[in-house]
Every structure is written in C-alpha cells, then in structure tokens.
Amino acid sequence: MYLGFTNGDVGYIPTVAAYAEGGYEVESAHFHHYLPVAVTTDSAGRVVELSVALLEFLHER
C-alpha cells in the first residue's frame, strides 16, 4: 500500500505477504526514513480497517 502527500510520514505500508518476502521495505526502509522502528505486520490491515470505519462514520452523517 503506497501513500502520497503524507508530510514526511511513512509512505509505504507493506502487506503481510511482503514480510515473508523480506527486502528493503520491511527490513530497512524505516531506518532510511529516520523512524525508530519498522512498520508492524498488522499495519496494512489496520489502515484498511480504520479507513472503512471512517467512511462508514462519514456516510452516517
């Protein structure tokens, strides 16, 4: 999942499958973006879950 215009925050959130493959995004991207820790394996799911909840909330209004 790629995010744009995030004011310097994490711009790529790996999927669960990406962690099994390894590589830059899951192993060292956080270091190059000066973040204290890597993004967790459940982050992509949480973004989707909270986005759906927000859309449902806005739809109710």
User: Cα(61)–Cα(57) distance, rounded to whole angstroms?
Assistant: 7
Amino acid at the residue 8: G
The first and second tokens of residue 25, run together, are 């995004």
pLDDT 10s digits, 8-51? 666 678 888 888 898 888 888 888 777 777 788 998 899 899 99
What pLDDT is attached to residue 61? 86
Q: How confident is the model at residue 4 (pLDDT cuts 50, 70, 90)?
A: low
User: Cα(6)–Cα(56) distance, rounded to whole angstroms?
Assistant: 23
What pLDDT is attached to residue 55? 95
What pLDDT is attached to residue 10? 65
